[in-house]
Amino acid sequence: MNTGQDTAAIEVTGTTVHYGEVLALDHVDLDVPPGLICGLLGTNGSGKSTLFKTVLGLVRPDHGRVRIMGRTHTAARRAGLLAYVPQSEQVDWAFPVRVRDVVMMGRYGHMGTRRRPRPTDREAVDQALHRTGLTDLADRQIGALSGGQRKRAFLARALAQQAQVLLLDEPFAGVDKHSESTIIELLRTLREQGHTLLVSTHDLAQVPALCDRAVLLQRRVVARGTPDQVLRPELLMEAFGVHTPEEGPVWMP
């Protein structure tokens, strides 16, 4: 009997993506077991966002297959299994929407077409605001938050979704130490609660402490495994042009 225990939370098989002439992903395989944090590491342009968009079904691969907990992305999204925190939001920051309203958007999938919040929706929003340290800012306009606070607001929106699988694109980029430690603590708690997280980051120094698995991407998968297996000088050199996590990534043409 298949108990579902061996079904990967995220499975990408032989996936290739072109944007016109640009090869963005080249036969990428990825397999994240449930309940783990997997770091997705690569330079600018290495295909991290494209891989997220492919998992979400926003980009159609030339070939290859994506499964989220054994389902297609359409079925997974319909079942509310998948939440996404993009790198930056294409929003009009002057638009008069409160932080609480942004987080409530994470509940839309639970509310049906009338989008009238019920007590359970309000509770989920309050909890997500609390967990991201935004309770005191809940009634502030989103455009009046700092960059790090905005990041936390979009993370809160994903939390309110209560999805099993979370995709986080550069959650630490441009955030201060306070926001960074709030986010790290939160990601660890989510893992303890059995969620699966795929987290892209340039910050290699964080990977050993945060991630159970890591994938080095340079259009194709350079390496995947535990952080120890992946953060090896020759592999980092191949993917980033650096020898150690402490040296940090540098731009490679």
**Residue 42 engages ligand ATP in binding (rule: CB under 6 A):** yes
Window contacting ligand ATP (CB under 6 A); options: 17-25, 93-101, 157-165, 224-232: 17-25
Four-residue CA torsion sign, 228, 229, 231, 232: positive
Nearer to ligand ATP, 53 or 150 (CB): 53
DSSP notation for 75-101: HHHHTT-EEEE-SS----TTS--BHHH
CA-to-CA dists, residue 240 to 16, 42, 224, 232, angstroms: 21, 7, 15, 11
Contact status: 88 vs ligand ATP (CB under 6 A) = no
CB of 16 to ligand ATP, least distance (A): 12
46 binds ligand ATP per the rule CB under 6 A: yes
Which two tokens mark 43? 């330079």
Virtual CA dihedral for 197, 201, 206, 209, nearest 10 degrees?
20
Q: How far is CA 213 from CA 20, 47, 128, in A?
A: 32, 18, 26
Residue type at 249? P
- 48 is an interface residue for ligand ATP by CB under 6 A: yes
- Quick one: which segment of 44-52, 78-86, 107-115, 176-184 binds ligand ATP (CB under 6 A)? 44-52
Q: Shortest gap between Cβ of 88 and ligand ATP (angstroms)?
A: 9
CB of 46 to ligand ATP, least distance (A): 4
Which of 9, 10, 39, 50 lies at the binding interface for ligand ATP (CB under 6 A)? 50
Contact residues for ligand ATP, defined by CB under 6 A = 19, 22, 24, 42, 44-50, 87
